Structure 1
Amino acid sequence: MYSFLNDYSEGAHPQVLEALIQSNQEQTVGYGNDDYCQKAKEVILKRINQPSADVHFLVGGTQANLVVISHALRDYQGVIASDEGHINVHETAAVEGTGHKVITKPHQEGKVTVEMIKQILAQHPDEHMVQPKMVYISQTTELGTYYTKQELEDIHAFTKENGLYLFLDGARLGSALVLDDAPSLADIAKNVDVFYIGGTKMGAMFGEAIVILNDELKENFRYQLKHKGAMLAKGRLLGIQFYTLLKDHLYEDIGRHENQMADYIREAFKAKGYPLYLPSKTNQVFVDLPLDVLAQIEEHYLVTHIQPLDNQQMRVRLVTSWATPKVEVEKFVEFIKQL
């Protein structure tokens, strides 16, 4: 069976793996203080055009989210998110386990909007309830949609005006960076307080790169990393990977490839008359399928069940990645045509 379950089924992009192999016998200092991490930081700072930003490398996305949020917020403060946000539905209350409520509203195509933030602020007017202090968004969203540059600028302007931190989860950031109306890395850096560049779902063996822009959040962050068990002794393994992904344009090449593979699948379902859940240009495909059709697909392919729509239909997700071969997608497209 071929798997469309996720974008981290395989190991690492060959260029990343080769870089790890070539450096394997080298001796370096630990905890992210090595030359490879420094080189990766320099590349990131150059690409975001923010030389004073802080960069920290962590192993995974849930870890990055809980460390950033718990570091930024006081005990009585909470974080605003879409009800589909990763911190709300896919992290086993990791953020809330640190003592910070995740405050949600129903999503707008998977996204947080200015109006949603306004409503939540109005519902939390005083000290008798959690104080909203941060807004959490992800690029791309859990539903494969993305924030345009204008949408990000609008949210940032509102959060800044209202004294809120804006945090962007970039687990699948490369999938959005290659879209014409999406913000670039430099645009993101100008319009958030903190974000991270995803590696685990973007061709790395593992890893995320946290970028802190707001000076208020920089102080003692490494203490928080260690306190939360997020400081990797062999930190150079993260620096090597991010340097390889970002020194040229491998990161964007991966995003472009996975989006194109997903486009082929989307078009095949549309041509066959099966409705897509939301319009998307990224590497996640959500489609509503009759159960008998889904049964045929699952004889040969692995997909994720999202939710039953009725007794006859199921919403499913298919995900492409750096490792999705065009030949496998072409086979799948032909299979769809024959359903």
Structure 2
Amino acid sequence: MPSTSLCQEEACLPYSLMDDYSEGAHPQILEALLRTNSTQQATYGTDEYSDNARQLIRNKIGCAEDEADIFFVPSGTSANLISIASCLRPYEAVITLESGHIACKEAGAIEATGHKLILVPAVDGKMTPTNLQKAIQQNQFFPHMAKPRLLYISNASETGTVYTKRELSNLSAICKQSNLLLLMDGARIGTALCSVKNDLTLRDIFEMTDIFWIGGTKAGALMGEAIVVKQHLAEGFVFHLKQHGALLAKGRILGVQFMELFKSDLFFTLATHANEMAQKISINLEKLGYRLAADTETNQVFVILPQELVRRLQDRFRFYTWEQLDDGNAVVRFVTSWATDELQIDKFNAWVQQWTAAAK
């Protein structure tokens, strides 16, 4: 991975463990954008690079062109918004977790399309069959209640946990029995698939969902997500892209990036690095006696730390304080990325170890 430690030290800036999109793009992607820059291409996603990227993604999934269409959009919010708006009638609702991204982090984007969100408690960051069935049963007073029509989940979850093949299969079966569509938010699908806890393949996800998307923004691209839509939902999808301002005239910009990510294993290599850096943090924190607030299964580390340690770390690192606790501790989140500098992780671990030893 490219080293950023020197420039960080020279600028005396705290090193960011806030998110996985603070850096720009992987050098291979930048090189590909420069290499293809002067070629003339068709517009609005009909260029050869976007077509090549679609085929490369289909090859990774193991599906044919007549099984699914693939659409590129600039952001995760647009991916969720357009995916949901494209297949729901005005009176139909979305079942999601209380901690779901569309419920907490997208400024009411789904509600703005006129669709109710039915909120369900999370278990280890995930939807469970029991909670899903309960939500379906509690929202059957028709026509006086919005009709549940789609289940939204994310993999990895908001707390970095991943769905197993059995868990996703059980949710998929309930959706089919209850006439629900299943949408998987894949903002961090790369780190989910590269998790040591993962037993899913892209083909499994394709077979068990109706729509899912592959996040590029958090996986080494400048921006962009690839929405994989099964053919029975793909008709007219492009009109939703246009109406919601996500059909880029220079669609090639997204196509080139996904072509570069999937022409080799770059997408998965970068995700593996992010996970490995998170594991280094997590293992060290547990060794020092700190309790994790969630299992570290991908590139997010949730841990309970003394507030004094949190304040001291904030002088040297940027991260998110998830929750202030009443006992003098706080739940904090550290996020690693495709570009996280291992030297900075070693420094982080050393600072925590030094403070902990001094505090005893």
| Superposition map of 1:182-197 within 5 A | 182-197=199-214
Structure 1 equivalent of residue 295 of structure 2: 279
What are the Cα deviations for residues 295-318 of structure 1, in whole angstroms up to 9, with x where unaligned? 111111111011111151111111
**Taking structure 1 as the reference length, what is the TM-score of the superposition?**
0.98
Q: Check if 1:106 corresponds to 2:107.
A: no
Structure 2 equivalent of residue 208 of structure 1: 225
Q: Check if 1:225 corresponds to 2:241.
A: yes
Q: 1:72 Cα shift?
A: 1.0
Q: Secondary structure at the match of 1:195?
A: strand
Structure 1 equivalent of residue 339 of structure 2: 323
Consecutive aligned runs of 4 or more in structure 1 exceeding 2 Å deviation: 179-182
What are the Cα deviations for residues 261-308 of structure 1, in whole angstroms up to 9, with x where unaligned? 000000111111111101122000011111111111111111101111
What are the Cα deviations for residues 202-230 of structure 1, in whole angstroms up to 9, with x where unaligned? 110000000012x3311100111101111
In 1, Cα distance between equivalents of 2:315 and 2:124: 31
Q: Check if 1:116 corresponds to 2:144.
A: no
Structure 1 equivalent of residue 191 of structure 2: 175
Q: 1:22 aligns with which of 25, 35, 60?
A: 35
Amino acid across the alignment from 2:63: Q
What are the Cα deviations for residues 107-146 of structure 1, in whole angstroms up to 9, with x where unaligned? 1111111111111111111211010000001010110111
**Taking structure 2 as the reference length, what is the TM-score of the superposition?**
0.92
Structure 2 equivalent of residue 79 of structure 1: 94
Structure 2 equivalent of residue 35 of structure 1: 48
Amino acid across the alignment from 1:245: L
In 1, Cα distance between equivalents of 2:296 and 2:146: 34
User: Which has the larger displacement, 13-22 or 258-267?
Assistant: 13-22
Q: Secondary structure at the match of 1:68?
A: helix
Amino acid across the alignment from 2:218: K
Structure 1 equivalent of residue 215 of structure 2: 198
Aligned pair count? 338
Q: 1:201 Cα shift?
A: 0.6
Q: 1:297 aligns with which of 313, 324, 340?
A: 313
In 2, Cα distance between equivalents of 1:299 and 1:235: 41
Q: 1:70 Cα shift?
A: 0.7
Q: 1:82 Cα shift?
A: 0.8
Retained in 2: the 8 A contact 1:146–1:182? no
Structure 1 equivalent of residue 174 of structure 2: 158
Q: Secondary structure at the match of 1:338?
A: helix
Retained in 1: the 8 A contact 2:211–2:227? yes
Structure 2 equivalent of residue 129 of structure 1: 145
In 1, Cα distance between equivalents of 2:300 and 2:262: 23
What are the Cα deviations for residues 213-249 of structure 1, in whole angstroms up to 9, with x where unaligned? 2x33111001111011110111000000001111111
Q: 1:29 Cα shift?
A: 1.2
Structure 2 equivalent of residue 62 of structure 1: 77
Q: Check if 1:2 corresponds to 2:11.
A: no
RMSD of aligned alpha carbons: 0.9
Retained in 2: the 8 A contact 1:140–1:175? yes
Give 5+ residue unaligned stretches, structure 1. Answer: none
Amino acid across the alignment from 2:87: A
Q: 1:179 Cα shift?
A: 2.9
Retained in 2: the 8 A contact 1:176–1:182? no
In 1, Cα distance between equivalents of 2:206 and 2:324: 39
In 1, Cα distance between equivalents of 2:274 and 2:34: 25
Q: 1:195 Cα shift?
A: 0.3
Retained in 1: the 8 A contact 2:195–2:275? no
Amino acid across the alignment from 1:56: F
